[in-house]
């Protein structure tokens, strides 16, 4: 029987892209140098674009359901990418907790991107050969973007780790802050059609290769980790993201400009 992605799986993929994209977009106009400002804004837009694709696919599935009223619908009674992004509350979001954490400093921002993009790269590699044509097509498109995100963030993590005393300390602090959140990658609670065991081994090898060049100790998968994002149990940070992101749609429903 051929694979059909569930609505939850698609929304999870979309939420991951949207929330990280929104976080990165917060750097727009605040980057440490003009060139890095543009780089991060480009990356943020890649994620928002990927989110749109996944939301559209999710909306198509929802609209073919009998009980689509369980999801936010527009005035025409249809689910769209916009209703899914703007009209759901925090407990409906299924993104990893790691992605909603505040940007922190440059070390937190770049290390978070490395941890996430390295996972995304492996995930999208597997999804890009999926038998579902739309899933494979979206994954293949996003994969090219994410490959660059890995390269860009990897370079920065190495620069910080191998840079000044302060940059190294900041990277070290970022590692301690973020590492407890990586366990969610490997839960696969939504049962995506992927080989988690091989992904985990490849991911850890990749990250430790970067850590070695950054003079960080080798990372070991944590025995305990923060969890809940894919089930809608979030940190307090997500609510603030949504408050900012959804304000216009909530205050002026169906506003157009």
Partner 1 sequence: MNTTIRILRYGDYDAMQKAGSNIPATNSSNHATSTAPEWPLWEVFVRSKQGLDHKHVGSLHAADAAMAIENARDVYTRRQEGVSIWVVESKYIHASNPDEADSFYEPASDKVYRHPTFYDLPEAIKHM
Binding-site ranges for partner 1 (CB under 8 A):
32-36, 38-39, 42, 106, 148, 151-152, 155, 159, 166
Considering the complex, what minimum distance in angstroms separates the CB of residue 236 from partner 1? 25
> For residues 27 and 71, which CB has a smaller minimum distance to partner 1 in the complex?
27
Considering the complex, what minimum distance in angstroms separates the CB of residue 112 from partner 1? 17
> For residues 34 and 255, which CB has a smaller minimum distance to partner 1 in the complex?
34
Considering the complex, what minimum distance in angstroms separates the CB of residue 32 from partner 1? 4
> For residues 7 and 43, which CB has a smaller minimum distance to partner 1 in the complex?
43
205-230 exposure pattern, b = at least 16 Cβ within 10 A, e = fewer:
ebbeebbeebebeebeeeeebbbebb
The token duo for 173 is: 């602090």
Cα-based distances in Å from 16 to 158, 171, 204, 206, 210: 25, 23, 20, 21, 23
E strands, the chain, where? Answer: none
Please state, in angstroms and rounded to a whole number, the distance separating the CA atoms of residues 80 and 88: 12
Q: Which residues contact 172 (CB under 8 A, 6 or more apart)?
A: 216
> For residues 106 and 211, which CB has a smaller minimum distance to partner 1 in the complex?
106
Considering the complex, what minimum distance in angstroms separates the CB of residue 159 from partner 1? 7
């Amino acid at each position: 029987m051929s694979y059909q992605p569930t609505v939850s799986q698609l929304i999870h993929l979309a939420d991951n892209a949207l929330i990280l994209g929104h976080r990165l977009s917060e750097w727009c106009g605040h980057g440490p140098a003009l060139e890095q400002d543009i780089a991060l804004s480009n990356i943020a837009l890649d994620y928002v674009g990927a989110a749109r694709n996944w939301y559209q696919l999710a909306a198509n599935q929802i609209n073919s359901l009998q009980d689509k009223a369980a999801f936010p619908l527009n005035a025409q009674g249809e689910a769209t990418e916009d209703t899914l992004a703007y009209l759901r509350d925090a407990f409906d979001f299924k993104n990893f907790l790691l992605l909603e954490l505040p940007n922190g400093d440059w070390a937190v921002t770049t290390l978070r991107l490395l941890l996430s993009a390295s996972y995304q790269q492996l995930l999208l590699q597997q999804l890009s050969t999926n038998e579902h044509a739309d899933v494979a097509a979206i994954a293949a498109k996003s994969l090219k973007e994410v490959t660059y995100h890995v390269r860009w963030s990897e370079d920065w993590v190495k620069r910080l780790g191998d840079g000044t005393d302060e940059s190294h300390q900041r990277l070290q602090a970022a590692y301690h802050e973020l590492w407890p959140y990586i366990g969610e990658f490997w839960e696969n609670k939504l049962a995506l059609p992927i080989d988690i065991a091989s992904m985990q081994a490849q991911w850890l090898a990749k990250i430790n290769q970067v850590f070695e060049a950054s003079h960080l100790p080798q990372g070991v998968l944590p025995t305990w980790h923060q969890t809940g994002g894919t089930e809608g149990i979030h940190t307090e940070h997500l609510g603030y993201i949504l408050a900012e992101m959804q304000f216009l749609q909530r205050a002026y429903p169906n506003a157009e400009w």
